[in-house]
Amino acid sequence: MAMAEQDIALEIRSLHKDFGGIKAVDGCSLAFPRGQISGLIGPNGSGKTTTFNLLTGLFVPDSGEILYNGENLAGLKPYQIFNRGITRTFQITRIYREMTVFENMLSVTPLIVSERRARERANELMEFVNLTPLRDEYGGNLSYGQQKLLEFARALMTDPELILLDEPAAGVNRTLLADLLERIHEIQRLGKTVVIIEHDMNVIMNHCEKIFVMDYGVKIAEGPAHEIQRNEQVIEAYFGHR
């Protein structure tokens, strides 16, 4: 069992979050395996994004634990959680529109890191997602797909351990998406843990080693793609009673 526990990057235990009586997350427990790409799916309103917001401190859970490297993150501020190595992107991109691509990148590095290293890292990552030609362009002038790439690259600035991607494929054209998925696999090969929320089932089924399914704020299934596709509860959640 000790071995199995070591393989978990982040674990949620019976997490609860109410919004004025609406139980957005209702006793959800999940454990994301270290060094893998996991998928988090579920119908609209099932609590996926709320879970991400709880994990990153944007919401404070009503109860439950978020265990990461032996520490409970529940109640920490977003920047404190970020500084422990967890970063994210947003469902609707939240790049800094009136800052250049380079400034978007640079803003993430804490001031204790030297200017030179911060700049090197920013340049490397812009190269990584092919945004170097747009280095001095305002973020708001980028196409939506490019903004998704920028947000992804920006989330990697501090070399995080755990990357949470909220619908990375939404609004991205096929070519760019293939590119983005390739980059996600590259960082996974570097030993990083990735969790993807996505409605595009091709992305989820073909790229995630383990898939978690949520409905009404709880986990209703978990497992590899072929199991999830045949799971009765999952089919019911998406398509209703047979």
Partner 1 sequence: MTRNEHLRNVAYMGGLLLFLSLLPFLTGVYYRSFVMFTMMWVVLALSWNIISGYTGYISFGHVLFYGVGSYVTGILVVDYGWHWLSTLAVCGAMGVAVSFVVGYPVLRLKGPYFAIAMLGAAEGMRVLVTVWDSLTHGGLGIIFPNVENSMETYFAMLVLMFCTIGVSYWVGHSRFGVRLNAIREDELAAEALGINTTRYKLAAFALSAFFPAIAGAIQANKTLYIDPDTEFFILVTITMKLMAMFGGKGTVVGPVVGAIGLYVVQEFVWVQFPFLHLLMFGIFLILVARFMPRGLVGLFIARGWARKGMVH
Residue numbers at the binding site for partner 1 (CB under 8 A) = 56-58, 77-79, 82-83, 87-88, 90, 94-100, 102-103, 106-111, 115, 118, 136-138, 154-155, 158
Nearer CB in complex with partner 1: 156/211: 156
A 10 A CB-CB count for 6 gives 9
Q: From the CB of 59, what's the least distance to partner 1, in Å?
A: 11
Residue 139 C-beta: closest distance to partner 1, Å? 8
24-22-197 Cα angle (round to 5): 20
Q: Quick one: 92 or 178, whose CB is closer to partner 1?
A: 92
Question: Least separation, in Å, of the C-beta of 225 and partner 1?
Answer: 30
- Tell me whether residue 75 or residue 110 sits nearer to partner 1 (CB atom): 110
Residues whose CB falls within 8 Å of the CB of residue 184, separated by 6 or more in sequence, listed in order = 37, 152, 165, 168, 194, 196, 207
CB of 104 to partner 1, least distance (A): 8
How many CB atoms are closer than 10 A to CB 78?
14
Check if the beta carbon of residue 30 is closer than 8 Å to that of residue 223: no
Distance CA 192, CA 53 (A): 20
Measure CA of the first residue to CA of the last residue in the chain; give whole Å: 38
Residue among 57 and 61 whose Cβ is closer to partner 1: 57
Q: Which of 91, 108, 87 is nearest to 10 (CA)?
A: 87
- When the beta carbons of 99 and 201 are compared against partner 1, the nearer one is 99
What's the min distance (Å) between Cβ of 223 and partner 1? 30
